[in-house]
Amino acid sequence: MVTLVWFRRDLRLADNPALVHALAAGRPIVPCFILDDADAGDRAPGGASRWWLDGSLAALARDLAARGSRLVLKRGPAERVLDALIAETGASAVVWNRRYEPWARARDERVTSRLEARGIEATSCNAALLREPWMLATRQGEPYRIFTPFRTALRARFEPTPPMPAPDRLPAPRRWPASETLASLCLLPDKPDWAGGLRAAWSPGETGARARLDAFLDGALLDYRERRDLPGTRGTSRLSPHLHFGEIGPKQIWHAVKTHALAETGDTDPPGAATFLSEIAWREFSYHLLHHFPALPDVPLRAGFEAFPWREDGAGERAWQRGLTGYPIVDAGMRELWATGWMHNRVRMIVASFLVKDLLVPWQRGERWFWDTLVDADLASNAASWQWVAGCGADAAPYFRIFNPALQGAKFDPRGEYVRRWVPELAKLRDAQIHAPWEAQPIELAEAGITLGRTYPQRIVDHRLARQRALDAFAKLGKT
């Protein structure tokens, strides 16, 4: 008798509820991963996510081998693959941790029905969230649409418990089933030079996740409230891709933050820790929205917003993607994204606002670009955040908020460190000019070695005019 542990986006051994459940049964365990993108359609993992998945699976395989086990790799429709694994191993139980994308939920329901019809024990657990999305509701029994009351309810309902350590050993079967090789899954990009920046920036896997968390606790946590908006400093956790792939769970992070804060300050909820845990709560809120509004990635939550007069601006969109808009903070962010598969959160808001409000390009186009290029591309968080910036999502008040990229750059990158790193052609400009090079005098540009339109692009749009155009569009929307 064998238990199959079906790994999905829970690629860790510590505090893994499905693994704990399997160990409690006392049977030999066969860990497996099934690459099954068919149900996701055009929401299959993008290039950056596939690169990360390759590294994370390699790390998980090493961790399992160190405990006397193996990771069995398969590809194909999950129902059919599980049937074959059950036949090959004689498994009497399958256990997994839940996913929340609409197609994944539908697939899990089919798998559960199929297994139970055959008398196979089917068990799913929660490894990804503090509370299940269906466990929180307003007093009227409705889903939350505003973040602050959701966060209050989450904190009131979540009772943290110490995370469970990784097991020392896993009971192995007498005979292992056949496995694909990691290389045969073809997860790595066709352009290996593009992945060089990803390799330099990240260490996928549970060990890398723990190292990233420890560095954050010892570094930026207590100053997080003040430093989180400054892209030129190491003021954020950079845990988002590790969280997305389940190399670390939110309960582990919550417990570690509270424990560290108490040890350092005598308080479990100092400002830095409280602000950071609010970001974890925003992630929970995003999953709450996706569960209750499964069309979130494509359809605006605000009624009537589908009538917004978006523009087709292929040239502007391409300039935005390539980091050639002529707005330094926008270009720095888009170049950081292309080079590392990640972008600072404050800058994500700035570049998103520029695309949807300065250029009036539909937010779905930006969300899709992020989906392919972010190592932390997460359907719930990505969609909820783009809708928030666009003004059509939950808690998007005022919905007509429009960021001025030059002012945002001057406020959050006052010394220009971030821009100088990612837009080196502007490096010699003075701090006062670096976020608005079009305002510099010709002699100042010449001294910095800059020719606008040649060494650095002219602005593709005048923000003052673009802002008014966007406000006019919002005004028309309000009358429909």
CATH number of the CATH domain containing 365: 1.10.579.10
pLDDT tier for residue 400 given thresholds of 50, 70 and 90: confident
Which entry of 386, 388, 404, 422 is annotated as an active-site residue? 386
pLDDT tier for residue 79 given thresholds of 50, 70 and 90: very high
Does residue 33 sit in the same domain as residue 45?
A: yes
39 within some domain: yes
Please identify, among 127, 152, 176, the residue that sits at the C-terminal boundary of a domain.
127
Which entry of 96, 254, 363, 371 is annotated as an active-site residue? 363
- pLDDT over 80 (residue 191): no
Does residue 340 sit in the same domain as residue 326?
A: yes
282 is catalytic: yes
- pLDDT at 375 (0 to 100): 97
Q: Out of 215-219, 280-284, 389-393, 399-403, which region has the weakest mean confidence (pLDDT)?
A: 399-403
- pLDDT over 90 (residue 365): yes
298 within some domain: no
Which entry of 96, 202, 282, 320 is annotated as an active-site residue? 282
pLDDT tier for residue 1 given thresholds of 50, 70 and 90: confident
pLDDT tier for residue 39 given thresholds of 50, 70 and 90: confident
CATH number at residue 272: 1.25.40.80
Does residue 459 sit in the same domain as residue 318?
A: yes
Instruction: List strands edge to edge, sheet with 2-7.
Output: 72-75, 29-35, 2-7, 91-97, 121-125
CATH number at residue 48: 3.40.50.620
Does residue 119 sit in the same domain as residue 134?
A: no
- pLDDT over 90 (residue 222): yes
Does residue 285 sit in the same domain as residue 345?
A: no
Does residue 239 sit in the same domain as residue 250?
A: yes
Total-model pTM: 0.96
Each residue of 410-456: pLDDT tens digit? 999 999 999 999 999 999 999 999 999 999 999 999 999 999 999 99
Does residue 466 sit in the same domain as residue 317?
A: yes
220 within some domain: yes
96 is catalytic: no
- pLDDT at 480 (0 to 100): 47
- pLDDT at 451 (0 to 100): 97
- pLDDT over 70 (residue 15): yes
Does residue 423 sit in the same domain as residue 463?
A: yes
Each residue of 134-164: pLDDT tens digit? 999 999 999 999 999 999 999 988 777 899 9
**Distances, alpha carbon 146 to alpha carbons 155, 273, 305, 467, in Å:** 15, 22, 18, 26
Identify the sign of the CA torsion 64, 69, 70, 76.
negative
- pLDDT at 40 (0 to 100): 80
- pLDDT at 150 (0 to 100): 96
Q: Of 217, 211, 223, which Cα lies nearest the Cα of 260? A: 217
57 within some domain: yes
- pLDDT at 476 (0 to 100): 83
Count of C-beta atoms within a 10 Å radius of residue 42: 6
Q: Out of 145-149, 218-222, 262-266, 301-305, which region has the weakest mean confidence (pLDDT)?
A: 301-305
Which entry of 345, 417, 425, 444 is annotated as an active-site residue? 345
**Distances, alpha carbon 283 to alpha carbons 174, 316, 320, 468, in Å:** 41, 30, 26, 32
pLDDT tier for residue 396 given thresholds of 50, 70 and 90: low
Does residue 137 sit in the same domain as residue 223?
A: yes
Q: Which amino acid is at 327?
A: Y
pLDDT tier for residue 370 given thresholds of 50, 70 and 90: very high
173 within some domain: no
Domains held by the chain: number:
3
Q: Which amino acid is at 334?
A: M
Which entry of 310, 338, 417, 438 is annotated as an active-site residue? 310
404 is catalytic: no
Give residues with Cβ within 8 angstroms of 186, minimum separation 6: none
pLDDT tier for residue 195 given thresholds of 50, 70 and 90: confident
386 is catalytic: yes
Average pLDDT over the chain, rounded to whole?
A: 95
Please identify, among 292, 314, 332, the residue that sits at the C-terminal boundary of a domain.
292
Q: How far apart are CA 431 and CA 290, in angstroms?
A: 42
109 is catalytic: no
276 within some domain: yes
pLDDT tier for residue 192 given thresholds of 50, 70 and 90: low
Does residue 66 sit in the same domain as residue 157?
A: no
363 within some domain: yes
345 is catalytic: yes
225 within some domain: yes
Does residue 439 sit in the same domain as residue 458?
A: yes
Q: Of 18, 360, 115, 1, which Cα lies nearest the Cα of 9? A: 18
Please identify, among 238, 266, 292, the residue that sits at the C-terminal boundary of a domain.
292
Domain limits for position 359: 305-479
Does residue 310 sit in the same domain as residue 332?
A: yes
Which entry of 88, 180, 226, 279 is annotated as an active-site residue? 279
**Distances, alpha carbon 137 to alpha carbons 102, 132, 151, 425, in Å:** 20, 11, 11, 51
